[in-house]
Amino acid sequence: MAGLPPGIAEWAGLPGPAAVLAAVHTRARRGHRTETGTLTALSLTTEQRHQVALVLGTGWELSGRPVRLQDLAAKLSEHDLTVRSLVESLRGEAIEPDRVRHERARDVADAERARTVETLTAVGVDPSDVDQWLAAGGLPRPGTGALQGLAVQVAAVIAHLHQVDAGIRLAQLAADVLHDAHALDSDQPLGRATARLLAIAHGFPRPQRAGRAWRAAWASAGVVCDGVSSRVLVLNLPLTGDSPAARLCAAAPGEPIWLSLRTLTGTWSVPALDVFVCENPTVAEAAADALGARCPPLVCTDGIASGAALDLLAGLVAAGCVLHARADFDPPGFTIADQVLSVAPQSRSWHFDARTYARECGLTGEHDAAQDLMPALTALRAVYADTPVHEERVLAMLLTDLAISPERSVAR
């Protein structure tokens, strides 16, 4: 505010004049005139009008008319100011029209995209693959420098892959290049970005999580993913085939067993059956104790579903199985239901519905008990009252279901 007459500077700091000058600033950014025109959309309180009238005069204050910029410009000219120059002096910078700002931001973003393409093509990535990678989304917005920073790291990973033999493990690759064994994990932006670029370059589906598509993308570059950390608990799942999972399932009828991604490699198949899906190992253990080998096939995610769990569920659906799924009545349980629906959209609800929740919480009114999981989940979210109800609370009901639902084919 250097150079402004003290009286004008003090006036401009009052709420009423400040609102007027803010409206002028908006007009200037939008490319409209600042020395003529009427601020018809500006609403001032009685006190604010009185403050503005310290410059525009009592006659204007009493008239009830909106602020006319030509009147304000005339008053400010007595102090060798224009309306625009006053606003710029108060803000300490020239007003840049939105159009100019947007054009500059677009130029900066385009320049960063170009640098990203250059960075990745320098390590052998086809420019068309980089363009497809950029267009697919899930990356930092260009123009902030974050996209180029990510591209430099992706390029370092790819360059290192050109120098090592096939069979390097993902965690080792991350440690060698980035000094962090978890930097290329599926929950890290760099891991997702690199895997998706590799998938595009080799014609594989875009990985959305740590699953089959994720492993295939890395395998296309000779990288082996960890197959033992991701696991899922199963009971009486009648898998057949040459995979270790099939042998494990056959060896332990009536006992809950853990299957890892590694054991699910190879070929396996399963008859088209009803398969029950729960969240908590307590359900699987209780079912094994009560029913043993008579319990129908059961899959337990053990909390948020892992890649192994989602791969298994996707494979069961592909084999014609119908999933009856549930989880705890709480936000993580909703997430698990969403995960199940992502690989098995036709899943059915296993008492994971508004009616069951309302009964357990003593809620009154009519509540839906949809058979299909997707509408059941929608109705459940609507009635959820921030009071968790865990599966253990309805365990007796679940065991009764399992006892009267013997393993059966659902092929029609």
Domain boundaries, the chain: 6-95, 109-224, 231-403
Q: Which among 277, 273, 274, 256 has a CA at the least distance from the CA of 350?
A: 277
Q: Number of helices (H) and strands (E), helices first, in the chain?
A: 19, 10
The matching CATH number, chosen from 3.40.1360.10, 3.40.640.10, 3.90.199.10, 3.40.50.10860, for 231-403 is 3.40.1360.10
Among residues 344, 351, 309, 304, the alpha carbon closest in space to that of 326 is found at 351
- Length of the chain in terms of residues written: 412
What is the chain's Cα-based Rg? 32
Tell me what the pLDDT averaged over the chain comes to: 93
pTM > 0.75: no
pLDDT digits (tens, 9 = 90+) for 248-268: 999 999 999 999 999 998 899
Q: State residue 410's pLDDT score.
A: 41
Residue 348: pLDDT above 90?
Answer: yes
Please state the rounded mean pLDDT for residues 304-325: 95
Would you report the helix, strand and coil content of the chain in percent, each value rounded to 5? Answer: 50, 10, 40
